Amino acid sequence: MYKLLSVVVVIAIVIPTLTLAVTPFRSCPNGAPTPETFEVDGCTALPCTITRGQPMRAVGRNLVSLVSTSTVEAYIDFFLGGLDLGIPTPPEIVDACANGIDFCPLVQDESFDYTFFKEDIQMDVSGITVLIRVGLRDGDVQIGCIEFDGTIV
């Protein structure tokens, strides 16, 4: 009986640890709120590897909105040496309420998750490490923002 209980306890501790793949991130310079955790598929250390033409999925969990709003715009920017590379945010992810937020409208002081998913990352650069900034806003109001490093391959 005790062996079975020991096995159950070990499984209960190990399985959640194996599935949790937290990606390190930094706060944005604009002071926007950050999620409790951030996960990029397959990335547990920076820089993350971002493969051109392949899907990219990232999840911010437990982000607390500072405002109530039904209009949330997602953006993603790429920087090299402090310079914005000018790569436009894919239009299909801009409306975060329709694509990525688990529920809208957002309610002030309530947490939510945001999933960024892009079927294929199209970039004209390769072999460089860039700063990637992913954020959410309602007009000029920043709802959330994180930065992480990624190497484009």
| Residue 72, domain member (yes or no) | yes
What's the structural domain count of the chain? 1
Question: What are the pLDDT digits (tens) for 4-32?
Answer: 333 333 343 344 444 458 999 999 999 99
Domain limits at 53?
22-152
Could you tell me how far CA 95 lies from the centroid of its own chain? 15
Alpha helix (H) residue ranges in 20-70: none
Instruction: Tell how strand 26-27 and strand 141-152 pair up.
Output: antiparallel
* CATH assignment of the domain containing 124: 2.60.40.770
Is pTM beyond 0.85? Reply is no
* Residue 60 falls inside a structural domain: yes
Is 107 among the domain residues? yes
How does pLDDT run across 71-83, given as a tens digit for each residue? 999 999 999 999 9
Beta bridge partners of 145: 135
DSSP states of 133-147: EEEEEETTEEEEEEE
> In the chain, which residues have pLDDT < 50?
1-19
Amino acid type, 149: D
